[in-house]
Amino acid sequence: MIVVRGTKKFLARVGRPSDTQLESDGQLGDWYANAWFWRPQVAVFVNEISLVPVLLPLAPASSVLARFPSAFAQVAGALGLPDSAIRREFSSMGVQTLAKTASRSVLGAMNEFGHLADNYRWLHDEIDLVDLAVWLSQVPCRPLFSGEGTPRDELRARLA
């Protein structure tokens, strides 16, 4: 099971948060989610520990949580993670539970990714969400300076 901590914009489209306090089973812990109002709209998930972003179409919003594990596997594969590590984390994502956000630091990183992604969109004619997530995962993030420095490298260190 994973806990997806959604922003108000995300929860308004996807569903109500659970009232119980739950913990994620996977090595990566909780995920944070937001909605970007592009055309078409995009759901952005950012991991609390590694800050790796995963992007996927928001529509249909009712199935975005169920589609998230596959999108994570695509991004992790594009980042060069071993198949065994991807399968291990993917297996812990079978059940998703919604909760409210709890870390302003992760929300700050998510907002910065939004600004960078907006600039990326203006430079590219067509946007592949996996390519954009891989590009964003190479951005140095201040909360990771004591660790690996970039979300990509932090993810590799955590799962490899």
Q: Mean pLDDT across the chain, nearest whole number? A: 93
Reply yes or no on whether the pLDDT at 13 is more than 80.
yes
- pLDDT (tens digit per residue) in 133-145: 999 999 998 766 6
Mention every residue, 6+ apart, whose C-beta is less than 8 A from residue 147: 154, 157
Q: Give the predicted TM-score (pTM) of the model.
A: 0.94
The CA distance from 114 to 142, in Å, is: 16
Please report the domains of the chain, with CATH numbers, ordered by start residue.
2-159 (3.30.420)
- pLDDT (tens digit per residue) in 60-75: 999 999 999 999 999 9
Q: Does the bond joining 60 to the residue before it have cis omega, within 30 degrees of 0?
A: yes
Could you give phi then psi for residue 5, rounded to 5 degrees?
Answer: -95, 105
